[in-house]
Structure 1
Amino acid sequence: MPRFAANLSLLYPELDFLDRFEAAAADGFRGVEFLFPYAWRPAELAGRLRGHGLQQVLFNAPPGGLDAGSVDRAWQAGDRGLACIPGREAEFRSGVTLALAYARALDCPRIHVMAGVVPAGLTRETVRATFVANLRWAAAEAAHDGVVLLIEPINTRDMPGFFLNRQDHAHELVEEIGAANVQVQMDLYHCQVVEGDVSTKIRRYLPTGRVGHFQVAGVPARQEPDQGELNTAYLFDVIDEVAAACGWQGWVGAEYRPALASVGGTRAGFGWLRRRGGPEAGSVPRP
């Protein structure tokens, strides 16, 4: 069955971020992911992971900024990645270098490199060459550490103007980049919002070896996966079936906003997870 990783940027919102590691471990998770680690010292995060028996499975490269102190300012200013943006290549490289330093400290094998919002006056086609060149450079750097870089199609409702929106586009770009350590982060929530036909896409793309990670949330409200129009129980069965046939052994990130933001609200919403036997086989979070 899929292994589920808790996204600590969204789950357990009633807790301070550093306290969310303990909460995830108590609920049976063995893997965690989050958006950005740069507000905390690498050693502090690594200590939380070790102390609670957790594996860091994914985090994002900086959305912008030249150092740890400017990452949050870039996000607040509207930066959503730099990979596609001409003229900011030096800033992109600084961000990748910083992300790789954190990946080494956290023993994290995957980094999501956000594509960015297409600048006004430009088109996806005019910035495509910048994106490909930046990812090729980043892939060569990441290969020294054995790190896989992920690119993620994100829906245009949540992030208007984002460069990458569709699964077929992402896989075309991975093939063009031509680096074995560049793969696709397939978020079932974004996929449903943009294009639907999600199970067919899992069956088509997972056997290619180009899918490095899944994420999930309910559609349309991005709450618990069993809420809304997306039949995630069925889709998890599809992932199980296809993964068994092709040997895929990755993670599914629980990247959603709990419907209840009060104390205990995240755990109260884990009915979908308990029905599958917990984050990993034999590990069932307490109700």
Structure 2
Amino acid sequence: MRVLVTGAGGMLARDLLEAPTKHEIVGVTRHDLDITDLEACIRTVAGFDAVVNCAAYTNVDQAETDESTAHAVNAVGAENLAKAARQAGATLVQISTDYVFDGSGESPYREDSPLSPLGAYGRTKAAGEQLALAANDRTLIVRVAWLYGMYGGNFVKTMLRLADERDRLTVVDDQVGQPTSTVEVVGSILAILDAGVTKGTYHATCEGETSWWGFTREIFRLTKRDPERVNAVSSAEFVRPAPRPAYSVLSHESMRSVRAPKRWQDALAAELLRMASTQQ
């Protein structure tokens, strides 16, 4: 299978391009392909069997004042790739997010739970899901959350840097989700493609749940730092331009049919070891 990966310079795409697989995977960056250009998408997607859309406008706070640009990339771009994939007879894997839900739930969001985004970023990603599904019957929605990895900036790298700069850290404890490594998401995407699935919604997050405070304490514990250096506070003390879902836990009914999600603690331990090995 020939697989095109958009947004090839990003954290998730880079791990997907490096993953061992039987498929031929080709990456294009935003400089190679402007996904807001339908004709360019059609030309680029021709000859591929699947497209994994990792290209996205991901600045959650900036999207509040620049929703038109976020919509062009996250919604129109997804629709363009879906149309291009349909013309090529290909499957689109549209990467989405927990932000399509409002976070008011108390049990894991199912794959078919109604979309109810709080802010601009979530609205544009929800629109991307809907437009892609409408444009191509062979569309897979793969939602991720609390993503971190070896490439690019992310929460784990920030906490490790701050741990070396400060005696104590203050982290919110009233937002709950599923820390998920890019390696685990890549494993889920490849499992779906290997299974020959061409439609449906999957949650590619890790198993279990924690708060940002709990996540940070585990980062400290696994890297031989003192977790007691991490103080818990409420989100009210960290006001941001964009609202954050308070509860971002996603269920795994569909995913378990192709691959068992790894516990978030185990995925974090594995990724920290990988990060450490590249620094030696």
Q: TM-score range by the shorter chain?
A: 0.3 to 0.5
* Normalised TM-score (structure 1): 0.37
* Normalised TM-score (structure 2): 0.38
